[in-house]
Amino acid sequence: METDKRPPAGGGDGCLVGVIRVPVKIVAVLVVLPVRVVWELLVAGGRAAHRHVLGPLYVHVVEPLLRALGWLLATLFKLVFVWPWVGLWRYVLIPVGEGLAWLGRGLYDQVLAPAGRFLGAYVLRPLGEALAWLGRGGMRYLLAPLAQGVGWIVWALGMTLFVWPWVGLWRYVLAPVGRGIAWLAAVFHRYVLQPVWLGFLWLVVAVYRYLLRPVGLGFVWSAVAVYRYVLRPVGLGFVWLAVAVYRYVLRPVGVGLGWLAVALYRYVLAPAGRVLVWAWHVAGLITAALWRGLKWVGRVLIGWPASWVYRHVLTPAGHAVREVWRTGRAAVREARASVRRALFGTPPVEPARSRARTLGSTTAADAAPADEISLPRRQG
């Protein structure tokens, strides 16, 4: 193929690429080409179904049904939820509200406002002034002395019932009892609690000094010795081993794997990808050519023969059948007319003008049926 004669991209990839490219091309053509053919057939079938079935079905069936359903739902919604409330608001609530407002304004203007002005001017104002005068006089000459006397009585009762008993209880009962309890608490603290507390502190100091401190120091010395002579050497050895494993094992293996991955990508995956892309485009071209060839073969093997058969066989045969049918039908009509004349006699002869315009007969008595344009005459 001409594509194989081109120099490889990137200045040449070597013999390894040439050895790998040929099997990859063969596999790509054997695998990708059928997949592309099937894909093109599915795409063509889907487009044809959408163009000739789904599109007209949606345009002529589904869309009118959806529009009719939307109009029906909108009309039902208006009938159930809009128009009743609009009619209620427009023809019931608004007139009733306007009537109530007019009635309220008339009642206020003609009844309540005059009554309020009359009551305020001639009843409530004089009554308020009289009550204010009585209140000032009663407060000065009656309520003030009475309030002073009641206040003195309440103060005396409060002192007698709520102050002096509590003062006496505190002075002669609670204060002596409190002082005695305080003296007993001081004695108990000096001669009981303080010696017990000092003994407990001495015991705690002795336990710390002669037991806990030596044990803690021994535990600390043991931990320091274990860290210095066991854990630190083991940790240093583990770190050295990890560094050695990384330096002499993991790093060379990682570098080798990186080189292997780069070489695999550069000399295997990239050429294989380019070959697959090329095979996909070639498969597309081959599929398009096959599709055009199939269309041409279908047009030649099916379309043209069918058109020729329809034009040169079926159409003349249809015309011949139509001529035979019309001739037979005319003969049958003539035979029925002859039988009718033989049995019932000849009917009265109509004028040629009226006979020619009779709707019951196809032709006049003296007119022959017009010749049909037959196939040979049309071809000639």
Mean pLDDT of 291-302: 86
Q: What is the token pair recorded at 182?
A: 């305080």
Those residues whose C-beta lies under 8 Å from the C-beta of residue 33, and which sit 6 or more positions away, are: 279, 282, 283, 286, 287
The predicted pLDDT at position 61 comes to: 85
Q: Is 257 inside a domain boundary?
A: yes
Torsional sign, CA 27, 32, 38, 40: negative
Q: Is 357 inside a domain boundary?
A: no
Q: State which amino acid sits at residue 333.
A: R
Which range marks the domain in which residue 199 is found? Answer: 16-300
The predicted pLDDT at position 358 comes to: 47
Helix axis angle for 15-49 and 270-298, nearest 10°, is 40
Residue 148: is its pLDDT beyond 50?
A: yes
Q: Is the distance from CB of 80 to CB of 72 less than 8 angstroms? A: no
Between CA 79 and CA 54 the distance in angstroms is: 35
Mean pLDDT of the chain, nearest integer: 78
For the chain, what is the domain count?
1
For the ranges 16-25, 170-179, 245-254, the lowest mean pLDDT is seen at 16-25
82-99 pLDDT, tens per residue?
888 888 888 888 888 888
Q: Is 342 inside a domain boundary?
A: no
- Percent of the chain at pLDDT > 70 equals 80
Residue holding tokens 């102050």?
A: 163
For the ranges 26-40, 98-112, 234-248, 344-358, the lowest mean pLDDT is seen at 344-358
Residue 215: is its pLDDT beyond 70?
A: yes
Residue 5: band (very low, low, confident or very high) from pLDDT cuts 50, 70, 90: very low
CA angle 334, 336, 341 (to 5 degrees): 95
- DSSP, residue by residue, 73-114: HHHHHIIIIIHHHHHHIIIIIHHHHHHHHHHHHHHIIIIIHH
The predicted pLDDT at position 379 comes to: 41
Q: Is 316 inside a domain boundary?
A: no
- DSSP, residue by residue, 123-136: IIHHHHHHHHHHHH
Mean pLDDT of 145-169: 76
Other CB atoms within 10 A of residue 24 CB: 19
Torsional sign, CA 152, 154, 160, 164: negative
DSSP helix/strand/coil, 337: helix
15-59 pLDDT, tens per residue?
656 666 677 777 667 777 788 888 888 988 888 888 888 888 888
129 half-sphere exposure, CB direction, 13 A CA radius: 6
The predicted pLDDT at position 377 comes to: 44
Cα distance between the two ends of the chain: 55
DSSP state of 5: H
Those residues whose C-beta lies under 8 Å from the C-beta of residue 374, and which sit 6 or more positions away, are: 316, 319, 323
- Helix%, strand%, coil% for the chain, nearest 5: 90, 0, 10
Q: Is 311 inside a domain boundary?
A: no
Nearest to 21, CA basis, from 30, 32, 8: 8
Q: Is 216 inside a domain boundary?
A: yes
Mean pLDDT of 230-258: 90
Other CB atoms within 10 A of residue 290 CB: 15
Q: What is the token pair recorded at 265?
A: 């990508």
DSSP state of 369: P
Q: Is 136 inside a domain boundary?
A: yes
Q: Is 378 inside a domain boundary?
A: no
For the ranges 137-141, 235-239, 244-248, 370-374, the lowest mean pLDDT is seen at 370-374
Residue 343: band (very low, low, confident or very high) from pLDDT cuts 50, 70, 90: low
